[in-house]
Amino acid sequence: MSVTELLQRSELFSGLTPKQVEQIAALGQEAVYNAGDVVIREGDPSDEMYIIRSGMVEVLVSGGRIHDVPGPPQLTSLVRLGQGQLFGEMALVDRGARSATIRCVEDGTVLHVIPRQTFWALCDTDHHMGYIVMRNIASDLSFKLRHRNLQARLAGGAL
């Protein structure tokens, strides 16, 4: 399966033509990680969005106040994300610091890394494509929020 075909299996590209997917794919590059590798760290500056082409990552957040606790922070796993999922998309929307740590859980996890600035430049030149992609990002964020809400409900509000 080609990179474009793999990326078309991501909701991010739903509604785009193969040519448009190729345009966005060309903005990014492949990165390969092994189990235990940290891709992004909570609190760091954010400049890229990631699409999981294969493998699995987990989303972790630190407990307590990050900067006041000596030693490595205690991390809690919120969810695992598999093929086709994206992360780091909040950086494209709000330019804020990373809100979570992302760590790989499978060897040979392949990510497609898209820089924010070049991505926005492409969306600025093609507003219709930009609208579709931003709608898809909103849909993905909504899905993740619904997942968290269901987790909290099933855990009796423990989250």
Residues that bind another protein (CB under 8 A): 9-11, 14-15, 56, 58-59, 77-85, 105, 139, 142-144, 146-147, 150-151, 154
3-state SS class at 19: helix
Find the shortest distance in angstroms from Cβ 79 to another protein. Answer: 5
Find the shortest distance in angstroms from Cβ 2 to another protein. Answer: 17
Q: Please identify, using beta-carbon distances, which residue of 74 and 125 lies nearer to another protein.
A: 74
3-state SS class at 119: helix
Residues 6+ apart with CB under 8 A from 94: none
d(C-alpha 90, C-alpha 12), whole Å = 13
Find the shortest distance in angstroms from Cβ 39 to another protein. Answer: 16
Residue 128: how many CB atoms within 10 A of its CB? 11
Q: Please identify, using beta-carbon distances, which residue of 47 and 134 lies nearer to another protein.
A: 134
Q: Please identify, using beta-carbon distances, which residue of 35 and 113 lies nearer to another protein.
A: 35
The neighbouring-strand residues paired with 103 are 38, 58
